Structure 1
């Protein structure tokens, strides 16, 4: 056993790791770690040499395998010797790892699971849920990640199943004790990772429903049904179908005992974790508390703005510390948003974008983009509430002002490097300017980070080090990390080395980088050449974070080599990681950017960026082809990347990749345009079509397309411009900016005609006709749709023909020309059925039904509406189903069957509301008209 203070702990629920205290142990090659994993899972038991061979090599063991086992056991004994010589012992013909179960994370997790079941059996269900949460927190990723062999593979499967079993059992306990709101985010992530686990799906739906989000719960079922039919050819199981039916009926048994789902709204809890070594700031926290108490009974939101100061001075740490202390006083929730005011590679969030994030956190699923409507909804949701809102890294008063609540007893904390005087002058905000740590506080931070014994042994040198760091918390933490890794050297030696390396002056002035560059260089200069090169090249990244595969393309290494480099940089606090994603602190990113510009030639930087851009382009092409197999890809016009692309083995995986990388793609498109990589820039944007179209992130889509269009305009071939203009037209139209959409599409038409590109001309004309229909400019829309129809006669193809005729049918139906609508609708239905274009068929059935109704033929209209309903229910197409229901309701109203009309219109309205469709207003107006008739 390890001696006192030298306890060995083994971690298996993620990357296999071993630690003594805070010190990580190097465990060697993957197969050596595989041997350790088997011994750790069976800690305290003898594992035979044969079992080790079977578990690590299986049937592929080489003749020399006995020697390999001996080598790995010897290597592990050396590595683990820091925890005591008797940790790994020989036992008969095998080996035994002498460890307590509490020293292996897997054993701790399984013991927690057993303890939770005992608590639940005894009636302590809420406490049992918390114990399971502790077990789940031990998972750091894929169990036994990167470990080879049949034993590890089988354990990975078992432990993954165990994790989801834990999640499901915890969810049941929390649902039973009224803690449904806490579950929503966790279950949402779980169903994304395991989309076909029906129990998880049911729990997620129920958590949403009980949190007052009935529409979202019902929409979740619709999505699940489409997924199951598309991927499995099956409907969801009985449990999900029954739950869905009970939700539609608002079954009281679904509500937690003694509560009403209609009186609750989601309670967000978004505050980040506190830093572990927070010190000082007692006076500042006392002042914040006085301000809060002084306005607690006013009924007005208290705005504490400009918790300001230089970067790295601890603004966010203080704000989070105080926010967590007072969070219980804000029972309606805590919001956190990074406004990105000083991100060197991403623009600050606009007020509209920030409002969108906050509204989503408050439970709103509205996609309406008008800033005034967003602000009004935001203030309404906060009215009369006690919510704590932490707005981090603000750049200006204008960015923040629209995020302030109206009448409420909320608390708003704003951090910024700027003073934000406008908030103080006009909005009654209180300002707290944050200064440097005192010498005593800086020394306390060093004691916490490197040990009181070392600091107290050399107090003068510790004080000198604090002075060199400018009493800046970030610099002190980086310095402390380097000191901790050099336990064999005195503080005096380390401080002298720091000075000898000719670091920049460390006094704090207006440029905080001049204060900490020296500390960063101390860390950087200790890196071996490969790590130093990787650190520099990562300074080229324009986006918020990076995955291992993309980083490999940037630094020019294999995936395994790159992962080792990234994790080494993370271990030395030069890079932050969250699983398999890595990102810089803003100041360290700036420092890395300075280094790469100073030490690499322009040609070397351009080559690295080209490699990264090519990787992203081929990844994006792979994603769009997986999502939309018929998406016509423009030739890439560059050699394929030699680096491994992401494994996008399903449409869901491809969509997840697009969502994960969307901000990086935007930043890279901008950088590609700056570098003259125009062909890559426009194609990156073009390949993100389905992501933005399906998610409704229209403002972000327009931003991306604006950059892409600049690149497309630099190319001689007009086709890229036309393709981007088509998407620009769609995005602008969906935002309600139809005038802008028409400008983009007409510009595309003007390019397509002289270029003789009739294929793209046809697409431009159809989109233009559709936009003009929304603007009720029917004559011009019909003109463009007729021209497109003539082109389909030349090109042939049932699908294109059906699309053009669908547009014509709808234009004629809406412009009160029902005979024409029927004429083109009849031909269009034949083409749609021949092409298998069921959505177009559904739309034309609805519009031909409208035409029959307007011609005074209700019997034929009803047949067409009912045909549309049958098709929609087969497809799971709720939008056209609602249109058909509302159409039948109009027929019932004409026949004076007002009760039937009302019931159908309510069903249509429910669907439109769930889909956030503009037609919800039409349904409401129809119902209001029925009420007038019956009154």
Structure 2
């Protein structure tokens, strides 16, 4: 591209990668990247051919090594030419890589480290520690990951030691400047990687101690002492032992230095999810003081966790108080602020499950984990919060059980929980401090009115102002609605407004029942509603029909059949009058106002009017989700919509990023709308809404909600004459159940779907069911039944001309035979599958078949053929960037070495496989760990 930046960047502190500006450069096979690594570390110097041979092949190079060097240099020169023709040149008897000091990550580390040490000598230790932190960010994992040869082996050790040297150096600087709390997470990771480093252990203990975690620091010493005795037969050294004694004595010299004021560091985004504060917040001074006192008292005795449970009736101001307090203290929680509405009392949606709540919190913390086991999610959540100071506001909790798994473990975080219920279990078992909010005192209620209506009007009619407060039940929500109504008519007296409100309240009192939260506010809402213009009142009523948590102007335009600009104008007016809230382009009711608007819709709109408005909204969402799905999966085989296209403009989603952002906001609305569509008999719309949300739920891993949505869609599909919608929904349900480990249920869904689709002539869906059944049964180790389905899939696929379908079916059958101990059959079908995969250009299928054929050769005792197939798989994975199958091939190689008693040779590929699988959060992590453990037990080298 003309004018594009082509500056070369080479990175060695992880996978060996290169870029020309933003363009990734393919670097070829591992040995070719090994040549680049040697040239890069000797940048701008001549490296002889013999040095390259020694560094890549060691003391026993093959006879063809000279030709291999020439091939790799030629390949690198061609690849790097996008950044310039003279990047890699021949000089005498060797080669030289021309690269600037800012264009190699290792050179950048060396430069910044020198700067950091100069800055530290000048006295600014905090700035020096930040420079070292910048260095550490350049490590992306194991240095020279996957690179073979003696040079890479030596450099890996050196660069890993350098990393932990920098961790130690930075820790000393930060401990000297009062930044101990920031260190805990990094040092926890460092001591796990380098468990016998006494310096790191001492720094970790000191950081814990200075953060008010004296007990944890002492426990750390006990852990170290047991480890040293068990593994080395030695006690900890003098430095650790002396530090332990000083901590036991509470040596005042161990007290932390004052922390300097600092600018926030760049890097991964820190969550800042707290909602906006209510602008006219008044009162609650004693409650805020109580929360502050509890927080201070708990931290002063070294507790790792503070929980404050704030309960009270709807509209009492629980969330407003929690947000007020949270924003006041947010600066004390540098690792971020999380907010989550647990939906405990939403009239239109069920409360969040623990798994979905954890999924949303983990997403906010930057985790991309897709594991769904509750224990795994809880463990990951607590690990991410370990040693950090995060403020977490859990709003509208339904029960103690909903909250308990959302509490961190070892953490200096603060948890604020709001609920209408008294969370007694949280108090008894988890040490929560409970704060029950009552109605506002009259003085605070009047102050709230002054803030909106104005001091002059309220103070001019004090008795009427007091009556107004009483009529609103001293409930903050009702007071705000009433105040906005009065302030909109400055020419009227306060007395006139109060009399009208009193009349309306009296008229509605007969409709109230005991303990109805609406009893104190229905009159206020009615009073405000009756002042609306007819069109605005109609929009308010129609919004009462909508069950989702929020709605955008584009959707409302379909609901009320008006242009989006008019919908936006009306929504803003309702928001200005406190009848709606708004945030991030979505408008939403307080749940009490939602109930009131729903009552009006039922009483003032005919069933036909309600159905027509909701159908228009549902059609708009249907075409929106179809557009979103095609944006992220352009080739997705959509079915005909079955309903006329919406007349209203669809949302602006034209990139993957905008689509995923839209999904995140709209998914809860679509779930609620799908349920409503099913109830109203709009089954064609309901099943497609569920089916078209595939990409969102598959990518985010919110599987409980996905299953709920698909179950609704299936119920609607069952009402249609065409059987295919049922089969399509059952395919997705089986995927969701399989991903949460419920394979038996997944198989039941697939068998049911297969029985349905066999009655049609849709061969494509039939094949999908057969292959998915075979795959799921393989995971359950029910090989014979899985093979039966896979054989049927292969027979069906071979009748057609689609190479991809053939490859997928043959891949499934090959894998089943390989795992079930039938290697000859695996090779037979694998060979055919490879041809089809290559013809279809299906690299991932080709890689999987190669790995399974290698397994089959290995199980037949053919080491040469197995090695050849594993290496072919690794070469293909290198080209594709396929880390998952790379890990499977490495695991296979490790098992091959183990079976031939080459334990030392097995450890390196097993460790590489484990590193990749951990990064991918793959299911095979435990298999790799078990293999390494067995190698340590069986191998002659003993524990590594």
One fold, TM greater than 0.5? yes
Q: Does 1:454 align with 2:457?
A: yes
Q: Does 1:877 align with 2:882?
A: yes
- Aligned residue for 2:912? 907
- Aligned residue for 1:716? 721
Q: Measured at CA, do residues 917 and 367 of structure 1 come closer, stay the same or move farther in structure 2, by a change above 3 Å?
A: same
| Offset, 1:751 | 1.9
| Offset, 1:743 | 1.0
Aligned match for 2:663, one of 648, 658, 662: 658
- Aligned residue for 2:922? 917
Mean Cα displacement is larger for which, 719-728 or 620-629? Answer: 620-629
> Distance in 2 between the 1:440 and 1:532 partners?
33
Alignment of 1:483-882 (within 5 A): 483-499=486-502, 510-755=515-760, 757-882=762-887
Aligned match for 1:282, one of 265, 285, 289: 285
Q: Secondary structure at the match of 1:799?
A: helix
| Offset, 1:764 | 0.9
Q: Measured at CA, do residues 606 and 742 of structure 1 come closer, stay the same or move farther in structure 2, by a change above 3 Å?
A: same
CA contact (8 A) 2:136 2:163 kept: no
| Offset, 1:256 | 10
Q: Measured at CA, do residues 387 and 696 of structure 1 come closer, stay the same or move farther in structure 2, by a change above 3 Å?
A: closer
Q: Measured at CA, do residues 725 and 893 of structure 1 come closer, stay the same or move farther in structure 2, by a change above 3 Å?
A: same
| Offset, 1:311 | 0.9
Alignment of 1:44-123 (within 5 A): none
| Offset, 1:922 | 2.0
> Distance in 2 between the 1:913 and 1:896 partners?
26
| Offset, 1:342 | 0.9
**1:294-315 deviation per Cα after TM superposition (whole angstroms, max 9, x unaligned):** 5445555677665222211111
**1:900-925 deviation per Cα after TM superposition (whole angstroms, max 9, x unaligned):** 54333333222211211011222222
Q: Does 1:419 align with 2:343?
A: no
| Offset, 1:420 | 3.0
Q: Measured at CA, do residues 377 and 799 of structure 1 come closer, stay the same or move farther in structure 2, by a change above 3 Å?
A: closer
Q: Measured at CA, do residues 385 and 652 of structure 1 come closer, stay the same or move farther in structure 2, by a change above 3 Å?
A: closer
- Aligned residue for 2:251? none
> Distance in 2 between the 1:450 and 1:263 partners?
55
| Offset, 1:586 | 1.8
> Distance in 2 between the 1:496 and 1:209 partners?
70
| Offset, 1:783 | 0.7
CA contact (8 A) 1:208 1:217 kept: no
> Distance in 2 between the 1:213 and 1:360 partners?
23
- Aligned residue for 2:399? 396
CA contact (8 A) 1:508 1:515 kept: no
Q: Does 1:348 align with 2:272?
A: no
Q: Measured at CA, do residues 363 and 645 of structure 1 come closer, stay the same or move farther in structure 2, by a change above 3 Å?
A: closer
| Offset, 1:462 | 1.9
| Offset, 1:409 | 6.2
| Offset, 1:275 | 2.1
Q: Secondary structure at the match of 2:275?
A: coil
| Offset, 1:394 | 1.4
Q: Measured at CA, do residues 254 and 330 of structure 1 come closer, stay the same or move farther in structure 2, by a change above 3 Å?
A: closer
Cα RMSD (Å): 3.5
| Offset, 1:382 | 5.5
| Offset, 1:633 | 1.8
> Distance in 2 between the 1:247 and 1:525 partners?
72
Q: Measured at CA, do residues 508 and 291 of structure 1 come closer, stay the same or move farther in structure 2, by a change above 3 Å?
A: farther
**1:833-887 deviation per Cα after TM superposition (whole angstroms, max 9, x unaligned):** 2222222112112211222222233333333223323332333322112222333
Alignment of 1:3-42 (within 5 A): none
> Distance in 1 between the 2:415 and 2:142 partners?
29
Q: Secondary structure at the match of 1:394?
A: coil
| Offset, 1:652 | 4.0
Alignment of 1:164-203 (within 5 A): none
CA contact (8 A) 1:210 1:256 kept: no
| Offset, 1:643 | 1.3
Q: Measured at CA, do residues 419 and 208 of structure 1 come closer, stay the same or move farther in structure 2, by a change above 3 Å?
A: farther
> Distance in 2 between the 1:290 and 1:651 partners?
47
Q: Measured at CA, do residues 881 and 776 of structure 1 come closer, stay the same or move farther in structure 2, by a change above 3 Å?
A: same
- Aligned residue for 2:121? none
Q: Secondary structure at the match of 1:721?
A: helix
CA contact (8 A) 1:396 1:418 kept: yes
CA contact (8 A) 1:300 1:406 kept: no
| Offset, 1:826 | 0.9
> Distance in 1 between the 2:271 and 2:342 partners?
18
- Aligned residue for 1:474? 477
> Distance in 2 between the 1:791 and 1:541 partners?
46
Q: Secondary structure at the match of 2:758?
A: helix
| Offset, 1:898 | 5.3
**1:300-358 deviation per Cα after TM superposition (whole angstroms, max 9, x unaligned):** 56776652222111112222333444556666665432211111122111223223334
Q: Measured at CA, do residues 660 and 409 of structure 1 come closer, stay the same or move farther in structure 2, by a change above 3 Å?
A: closer
Q: Measured at CA, do residues 341 and 215 of structure 1 come closer, stay the same or move farther in structure 2, by a change above 3 Å?
A: farther
Q: Does 1:432 align with 2:435?
A: yes
**1:520-552 deviation per Cα after TM superposition (whole angstroms, max 9, x unaligned):** 223322222221111211112221112222221
Give the unaligned 5+ runs of structure 2: 1-111, 113-131, 146-158, 175-182, 190-267
Mean Cα displacement is larger for which, 249-258 or 262-271? Answer: 249-258
Q: Measured at CA, do residues 844 and 255 of structure 1 come closer, stay the same or move farther in structure 2, by a change above 3 Å?
A: farther
CA contact (8 A) 1:443 1:463 kept: yes
> Distance in 2 between the 1:816 and 1:359 partners?
40
Q: Measured at CA, do residues 653 and 351 of structure 1 come closer, stay the same or move farther in structure 2, by a change above 3 Å?
A: closer
| Offset, 1:248 | 14
Mean Cα displacement is larger for which, 281-290 or 656-665? Answer: 281-290
> Distance in 1 between the 2:308 and 2:617 partners?
40
| Offset, 1:486 | 2.4
Q: Secondary structure at the match of 2:917?
A: helix
Mean Cα displacement is larger for which, 600-609 or 421-430? Answer: 421-430
> Distance in 1 between the 2:518 and 2:794 partners?
62
Q: Does 1:272 align with 2:275?
A: yes
> Distance in 2 between the 1:581 and 1:408 partners?
34
| Offset, 1:796 | 3.8
Q: How many residues are treated as equivalent by the alignment?
A: 706
> Distance in 2 between the 1:217 and 1:440 partners?
66
CA contact (8 A) 2:338 2:393 kept: yes
| Offset, 1:929 | 3.1
CA contact (8 A) 2:142 2:160 kept: no
Alignment of 1:331-346 (within 5 A): 334-346=337-349
> Distance in 2 between the 1:247 and 1:445 partners?
61
- Aligned residue for 2:311? 308
Q: Measured at CA, do residues 360 and 878 of structure 1 come closer, stay the same or move farther in structure 2, by a change above 3 Å?
A: same
CA contact (8 A) 2:359 2:701 kept: no
Mean Cα displacement is larger for which, 493-502 or 482-491? Answer: 493-502
Q: Measured at CA, do residues 359 and 812 of structure 1 come closer, stay the same or move farther in structure 2, by a change above 3 Å?
A: same
Q: Measured at CA, do residues 269 and 548 of structure 1 come closer, stay the same or move farther in structure 2, by a change above 3 Å?
A: closer
- Aligned residue for 1:200? none
